[in-house]
Structure 1
Amino acid sequence: MITLVKKPIDLKKIEYWASGTIYAFILLLMLTRVAGSNVNPVWTPYRYLYNELHLHYSYSKYYFFPMVARYSLYYFAFLLWNFVIIPSLVERRRTVLMIVLAVALFGAIWLFCGITDTWLKGYLFYNHTPGYVYNIVFKTNLIYAIWVMMMLTLYSVIKHVANYLLDNTDRIQSEYKVLTRDSIIALIVWMILVFGLLLNDANIDIIAMFFVIPPIAIGVHGLSTYSLIPTTLADNKRFFTYWIKVLFVTAAASIPAGFIMAMALRRPEAVFVILGFNAGVQLIAIAPFSWITYKRRMAGKAEILNLKTALGTSTASLDFLRSQINPHFLFNALNTLYGTALQENADRTGEGIQRLGDMMRFMLQENVHDKILLTREIDYLNNYIALQKLRTQTSPDIVIDTNIEDHILGLQIAPMLLIPFIENAFKHGISLREPSHIKITLQTKDDKLYFDVHNSIHIRPDNDPEKGKSGIGLENVKQRLKLLYNNKHELIIRENASEFFIHLTINLS
């Protein structure tokens, strides 16, 4: 339905074909009655009056042709009003001409209905003069023409309101939380039902019931979804507490509704019957329905959230693992070991290979777990830093200062969560030609992790393929933090022309 609203041409086609189908069906139904009218008398609203006056009654003359003329008038009036007059007035095109056309349409409906009514009520000419009959008929049909124009206008209003509500559902929900999507759709259905009742001239009591019960039901459902049920569940209360709240809301809404109905119906017994039926509907049907649908919706949202979290975590972990085990990293490490081997024989080379082996083992074994001991994560960080120091320790202008707490017991953390910040520091903070510094601090207190990385920044040459690229894995680690430690972490990133700083706090409890 929302798709139709977003594509007006489709909605217009549906309106056109629906109205045409209804018009053709009515004509076909009346034709089938004509075929058998000479054998079996067909009941019509005024036939019995002809019979009481002993007048000959012809179904074709006194009903079929007048009603075919009326239905044709209704059909073409609907097309003209709905597809020509209203769209032009809404878009403010040829406004004066459309107003004149609307007045002409009103006059045509009045004249046409008055003429056909003289045939439908032809029995009146038997006891009254033609002047009297025409006066009565055309006065009556003046009111009827006004009613037809009101129904056409009401249809247009309902259509445009429904169009607006469906087209702006998300914005309306963001501004008015109590108006859920279900409430908006129910409101549209209610408007259509009320229009149908008015169009068919239903009993006033039924119309009054539809004017009271559905709007209150929509309000109770929206208020329940927005406030009553969430607050009840937040207080660890059960359905009965919520049901009592609905009872008070229904009673409060019934007071103004009762006054309005009392003025409209002027029959206290009808007002009490409608209000009693309304109370039953709200307490027996709407309250349990809202409770069940809300809990099912919350369960569905929780399941979707868990699936998204699991999928996001798996994707982020897989992407991160791929980013670690890639030729760029491995070739850099091998180049480091090769350069070291040229400078010394075995000690530093052996140390580098050992640390690289520990890091590879960590990535392939530990990284598959959801959480690992924080001490294992720290071991990985120390191995990485030590491996990088092998490359930089011969440069006196490079200062790497680490203060990483290593006596941490019991705390666990998602694997490979801290390394992106350190990798980013070494990638962007180290230059073999310029003074550089990196400071890394990791401390814990009361199940909270405090992690700081502070590094220099060097402008890369224009021909550097890495220039313009963001830090290694920063977006990935932000995503993982949001998924794994939502509302339990704080990440501060600051940067100026020469320095880059991150501060990360995580509640690991």
Structure 2
Amino acid sequence: MPVLFSYLVTFTVYLLLCFYLAPAFESEGKALLRGSLYLLIFLALGYLVGIINIYFTALLALKLMFIYFNRNQKNNEAALYSEATLLTASWLLITIGLLYLSTPLMMRFYLLFVVPAAIVVYLYAVHVYLPVLKLNNGNTFYYILRMFLFTVLSCITVYMLGLVFSGNNRVLERPAVNAVMVIDTGDVDNRQNLVILNFLTQLLLVTPLALGTYKRRNAKKQEEISMLKTELGQSDANLNFLKSQINPHFLFNALNTLYGTALQEQAARTSEGIQKLGEMMRFMLEENIKDTITLSRDIQYLKNYILLQKLRSATSPAITIETDIEEYQGKLTITPMLLIPFVENAFKHGISLQNPSHIEVALQIEGNTLYFDVHNSIHSRQENDPEKDRGGIGLENVKQRLSLLYPNRHELVIRENAREFFVHLTIQLAVNN
């Protein structure tokens, strides 16, 4: 029965490594990894108390190594669990290897009891305590004090473990392949030596090592952030340079001249189109670069765009364009260029000069909620159509922006069949303070 129980526990641990720990390390985030620490502790205890024999422990440690090196290295949230896995597997392999060598008995005790305690304290300091502690001259003292308290606690734990593993009248000796761990810490002197070694290890080795490791990793993160800021600054400088190549005053003066000329020639539709185009270009140059703008300005840009499109299709009686856009002068704000891609897509794919076409655009505001609907026919573009390959902001891009900017505050429904395309968008907007 003991042998059967040992094999059952070993097989259970192996299944957990294969079907729980390995998939958890390959996934994103850390939600699935939170139980991995309990699995590692269970494996270590099973090895120490002799439930899992030495041969299978070595194989399980190699499996841990395989899982570690095949983990998702882009998952920064799994640092604690991946490092705990690496240290646990290394500890198991080293202790098993030294059992087959002529090493002093106290060194074996040191590896079996002190090193695991050092690993636990190290992981706590680097991944739990130091990240929430703002290091400066005063806080360094608190760090050392906290580490001293954990050292005392670990010394008590090591001494209690020494008592548990004493009295077997057997000592650590070179085991057979299928043997289990047999530990006897012996007399009081051995336990006292273990406590002294643990105290010195925690204070003189683990405390500065954890602090140095955290500072080095934090410095690397700060360097990466600084590099990203530098690259962002260069991008902003390039963007500002490109903007400086456009002289808005000359552009708008030229449009005003054309507008005046069209009025003198009594070309009402042309003058109106030039006026709306100028307003749209001013919007693109001055307001489109902002994070948020007033909803009224975005609605005005939307109306100007639709009006220009109506001017293009005014001579085609088969094209029907209907709008029901509510006038709004409140304080709600919206990210620019969220609504126009849907209308742009409707005119791109919904207008045909040869076939009947229709586009319907509706916009309503109730409280802080915007309701936006676009309904259009679908026609394939002709090969000679100048807008056939025109891009614009794609719908997938808009979906991503909505997910990032309005998480849990929007609803987007898109339906399509062979002849029609329908979009319904609801957004909970914020008020401009």
Pairwise TM-score range, normalised by the shorter structure: 0.5 to 0.7
Matched, 1:261 2:169: no
Residues matched between the structures, number: 328
1:165-176 matches, within 5 Å, as: 165-170=67-72
**Contiguous gaps of at least 5 residues in structure 1:** 1-150, 326-333
The match for 2:330 among 387, 409, 428 is 409
Distance 1:484 1:282, change over 3 A: farther
CA shift at 1:385, angstroms? 1.0
CA shift at 1:454, angstroms? 2.4
SS for the counterpart of 1:209 is helix
CA shift at 1:346, angstroms? 1.2
Residue type matched to 1:375 in 2? Answer: S
CA shift at 1:245, angstroms? 12
1:7-156 matches, within 5 Å, as: none
SS for the counterpart of 1:169 is coil
**Could you give the per-residue CA deviations for residues 67-103 of structure 1, whole angstroms, max 9, x where no partner exists?**
xxxxxxxxxxxxxxxxxxxxxxxxxxxxxxxxxxxxx
**Could you give the per-residue CA deviations for residues 419-464 of structure 1, whole angstroms, max 9, x where no partner exists?**
2221111111122333322232334445444433222212345776
Alignment correspondent of 2:340: 419
**Contiguous gaps of at least 5 residues in structure 2:** 1-53, 134-138, 167-182, 247-254
Contact 2:159–2:194 (8 Å) recurs in 1: no
Matched, 1:270 2:190: yes
CA shift at 1:502, angstroms? 2.7
Distance 1:300 1:231, change over 3 A: closer
Matched, 1:438 2:342: no
Alignment correspondent of 1:33: none
Matched, 1:348 2:249: no
Alignment correspondent of 1:203: 104
Residue type matched to 2:376 in 1? Answer: N
Contact 1:355–1:387 (8 Å) recurs in 2: yes
SS for the counterpart of 1:265 is coil
CA shift at 1:221, angstroms? 5.6
Distance 1:436 1:194, change over 3 A: same
CA shift at 1:378, angstroms? 1.6
Larger displacement relative to structure 2 (440-449 or 279-288): 279-288
Residue type matched to 1:207 in 2? Answer: R
Contact 1:430–1:458 (8 Å) recurs in 2: yes
CA distance in 2: counterparts of 1:359 and 1:206, whole angstroms: 78
CA shift at 1:381, angstroms? 1.0
Provide the TM-score with structure 2 as the length reference.
Answer: 0.55
Contact 2:348–2:387 (8 Å) recurs in 1: no
CA distance in 1: counterparts of 2:378 and 2:209, whole angstroms: 62
1:181-220 matches, within 5 Å, as: 181-187=82-88, 189-190=90-91, 194=95, 197-198=98-99, 201-219=102-120
Distance 1:486 1:221, change over 3 A: farther
CA distance in 1: counterparts of 2:406 and 2:419, whole angstroms: 31
CA distance in 2: counterparts of 1:507 and 1:252, whole angstroms: 57
Contact 2:373–2:425 (8 Å) recurs in 1: yes
Matched, 1:428 2:330: no
Distance 1:370 1:158, change over 3 A: same
Residue type matched to 2:420 in 1? Answer: E
Alignment correspondent of 2:66: 164
Distance 1:253 1:195, change over 3 A: same
Provide the TM-score with structure 1 as the length reference.
Answer: 0.48
Q: Which has the higher contact order (CA 8 A, sep 6+)?
A: 2
Contact 1:392–1:398 (8 Å) recurs in 2: yes
Distance 1:185 1:398, change over 3 A: same
CA distance in 1: counterparts of 2:203 and 2:409, whole angstroms: 41
CA shift at 1:357, angstroms? 0.8
Alignment correspondent of 2:296: 375
Alignment correspondent of 1:385: 306
CA distance in 2: counterparts of 1:157 and 1:251, whole angstroms: 30
Distance 1:369 1:460, change over 3 A: closer
CA distance in 2: counterparts of 1:248 and 1:467, whole angstroms: 74
**Could you give the per-residue CA deviations for residues 189-235 of structure 1, whole angstroms, max 9, x where no partner exists?**
54565467557633323322222333344456667888x669999xx
The match for 2:398 among 468, 473, 477 is 477
Contact 1:246–1:287 (8 Å) recurs in 2: no
CA distance in 2: counterparts of 1:502 and 1:249, whole angstroms: 63
CA distance in 2: counterparts of 1:386 and 1:419, whole angstroms: 13
Distance 1:394 1:467, change over 3 A: closer
CA distance in 1: counterparts of 2:68 and 2:396, whole angstroms: 36
CA distance in 1: counterparts of 2:91 and 2:72, whole angstroms: 20
CA distance in 2: counterparts of 1:437 and 1:246, whole angstroms: 74
CA shift at 1:247, angstroms? 9.5
1:329-344 matches, within 5 Å, as: none
SS for the counterpart of 2:288 is helix
Distance 1:296 1:163, change over 3 A: closer
**Could you give the per-residue CA deviations for residues 22-73 of structure 1, whole angstroms, max 9, x where no partner exists?**
xxxxxxxxxxxxxxxxxxxxxxxxxxxxxxxxxxxxxxxxxxxxxxxxxxxx
Alignment correspondent of 1:452: 373
Alignment correspondent of 1:50: none
Residue type matched to 1:381 in 2? Answer: L
Alignment correspondent of 1:130: none
SS for the counterpart of 2:352 is coil
CA distance in 2: counterparts of 1:267 and 1:300, whole angstroms: 49
Distance 1:167 1:400, change over 3 A: same
